[in-house]
Amino acid sequence: MAKQTVFSQIVAGEIPSNKIYEDDLILSFHTIAPEASVHALVIPKSNHLERISDAQPEDAELLGYMMTKIPEIAKKLGIHESGYRIISNSGKDSGQEVDHLHIHIIGGEKLAGFNGKQ
C-alpha cells in the first residue's frame, strides 16, 4: 500500500496549501520552507511513486505530463522569462524529506550551487 505523507494529506484537502495550479493529475503549491524568492513544488496526485527511483515505464505519461506543465506553472509564478531550476530529490543522500514524488521549482533570483539544499 502506498505511503501516506503530508503531500497525500494536501491532495486530500486534509491540510491546507498555497496552491498555484491543480488539475486531475497534478498539484503545484508553494513550499512552507522556501530556499529562494520563489520556491514551488509539483506533485502527482497519486502517491504510488515515493521518488523518481521508483519510476516504471508505465509512469512515462504522468512524468512527461508533469514536466510539460512546468513552463505553465513557471508563468504563473512570474519566473518563466527570468529562469529557474528544477530538482527532484530521490533518497537518503539527496536529503529527500517527503516520500511522495515531487519536483522543486526554484527561482526569482540568481541561483548559486547545484541543488535545493544550500
Active site residues: 102
Closest CA to 110 of 100, 101, 102, 118: 118
Q: Residues 8, 26, 28, 31: which binds ligand AMP (CB under 6 A)?
A: 31
Tell me the window of 52-60, 73-81, 90-98, 107-115 that interacts with ligand AMP (CB under 6 A).
90-98
Q: Quickly count: other Cβ atoms within 10 Å of residue 66's Cβ.
A: 22
**Rounded distance between C-alpha atoms, residue 106 and residue 108, angstroms:** 7
| 12 counts as binding ligand AMP under rule CB under 6 A | no
Q: Which listed range, 29-37, 42-50, 52-60, 69-77, lies at the site for ligand AMP (CB under 6 A)?
A: 29-37
Residues 54-83 that bind ligand AMP (CB under 6 A): none
Buried b (16+ CB within 10 A) or exposed e, 34-62: eebebbbbbbbbebebbbbeeeeeebeeb
| Residue 97 binds ligand AMP (CB under 6 A) | yes
Residues that bind ligand AMP (CB under 6 A): 6, 15, 17, 29, 31-33, 41, 89, 95-98
